[in-house]
Amino acid sequence: MATVPSWLNERELAEEELRVIVEEAPVGLIVANSAGKITLSNVEAQRLFGYQGSELLGRPIEILVPERFRAGHPALRAQYLADARPLPPGMGRDDLYGLRQDGSEFPADIGLNRITTRGEVMVMASITDVTERKRAEEERRLFLERAQQAQKMESLGVLAGGIAHVFNNIFQTILGHTELARSGLPPGSLVDENLQAIFGATRRASHLVSQILVYSGKGSREVRRVDLTAVVEQMREMVGPAVSDKATLEYRLAPGLPFIRADRSEIQQVIANLVINASEALEGSAGTIWVSTGIADRNEREAPQGADQLGQGRYVFLAVEDTGRGMDEATRLRIFDPFFTTKFMGRGLGLAAVAGIVRTHGGGISVRSELGKGTTFRLLFPAEEPNST
């Protein structure tokens, strides 16, 4: 803490006290003259921007702001110094970044005030590093997004499950009576062909109902210990012909993974769905699809779908990545909604069924995507003991 010498006169004492207050202020303070040159910087400002002592004095204030902000920053525009009106808020106090001496940036809350000293008009900027606040706001946003998504999925799951059970009973009745009606008909008759068409359409509708039950977590399942890498290996021949001829399908599979408890057929459905989606995202152009497995720890930011049920510990992951068109944020937030599709012809539940399967396995999904830069789906499943076989 700086001290004030006892021999100073009253005016000098006031100036020295002011200097001490400025130096010890908990926020960064920068003063620039009408030429835009820095005439004062306190200790906190020097720390924020990575300068020592008097290194900032006489330098243009614009060196403290990234180039993309310089044209619109009021403190860097000389006409505001001569203008009698109050300084405008500019681009918003929370929308600016400071530029450190080493070239790194930090989000900053920057307040501006016009001051007059010794007849000269100057601008004083107060700077606060808001990195932690921004991080907390982002974490809160992600938490609320996950909570809203989980609530929506739970409500849709309850509704879908109830409707599916009703329709399943109706379809079973239609299938049973169709079989009975066909049993008394000669094969190949017109009526038999019509009944076969009814039977086939009902079977397809019944399959869709099964997908709805999977989505709602109420479908019939056979859960056992499964080696995820082995399941992916077995799916190679099945999904290979389903991808575009211009797509390169590459595998990065980790051997000896811990087992997961899963329904093998549902995991196969997930793999097929994600790989085919990745192929369609290429839109007939050349591109690459990577299918990966491995071990991962739970990451708080990683799984917006099902993150609330993921505890700490080890997980086995399945990742499907493509170099396709990618998605914007609005699309990404809706991809797990039932029947939502960006295709001209929808294909049923799609990713909603994937989300339901992962949820019933106690796992979670993360999705990273950017327009023109592809998409990555990463699925986490709770791991059991290591697979030594």
DSSP code for 199: H
Mean pLDDT of 254-260: 93
Could you tell me what percent of the chain has a pLDDT over 90?
Answer: 18
d(CA 263, CA 265): 6
pTM over 0.75: no
Radius of gyration of the chain (CA): 32
Continuous H helices in the chain: 10-24, 43-49, 67-70, 79-82, 131-183, 190-216, 228-239, 264-281, 329-332, 351-360
Q: Tell me the average pLDDT across 24-50.
A: 87
The larger pLDDT score, comparing residue 266 to residue 242, is at 266
User: pLDDT band at residue 47, thresholds of 50, 70 and 90?
Assistant: very high
Backbone angles phi, psi at 381, to 5 degrees: -125, 135
Question: What is the pLDDT at residue 138?
Answer: 81
3-state helix, strand, coil in the chain (%, to 5): 45, 20, 35
Q: Do the beta carbons of residue 207 and residue 175 sit within 8 Å? A: no
Q: Which CATH superfamily includes the segment(s) 10-129?
A: PAS domain (3.30.450.20)
Calpha distance 259→387 (Å, rounded): 6
Query: Among candidates 263, 274, 207, which has minimal Cα distance to 231?
Result: 263
Tell me whether residue 237 is exposed, middle or buried, using C-beta atoms within 10 angstroms of its C-beta: 0 to 12, 13 to 18, 19 or more: exposed
- Single-letter code of the amino acid located at 33: N
State the fold for domain 221-389: Heat Shock Protein 90 (3.30.565)
H or E segment to which residue 333 belongs: none
What is the arithmetic mean of pLDDT over 383-389? Answer: 63
As a whole number of angstroms, the distance between CA 388 and CA 208 comes to 38
What integer pLDDT is reported at residue 247 of this predicted model? 87
How high does pLDDT run on average in the chain?
Answer: 77
Six-digit token string for 250 = 């590459």
Using alpha carbons, select from 91, 82, 36 the residue that is nearest to residue 62.
Answer: 36
Q: Is the pLDDT of residue 74 over 70?
A: no
Better-predicted residue by pLDDT, 247 or 167: 247
What whole-number distance in Å separates Cα of residue 29 and Cα of residue 19?
A: 12
CA distances from 330 to 334, 370, 373, 383 (A): 7, 11, 16, 32
Tokens found for residue 274: 């994600």
Least confident of 22-31, 102-111, 347-356, 368-377: 347-356
7/256: higher pLDDT: 256
Helix (H, G, I), strand (E, B) or coil at 263: strand
Residue with tokens 């790194």: 104
Q: Distance (Å, rounded) from C-alpha 179 to C-alpha 97?
A: 71
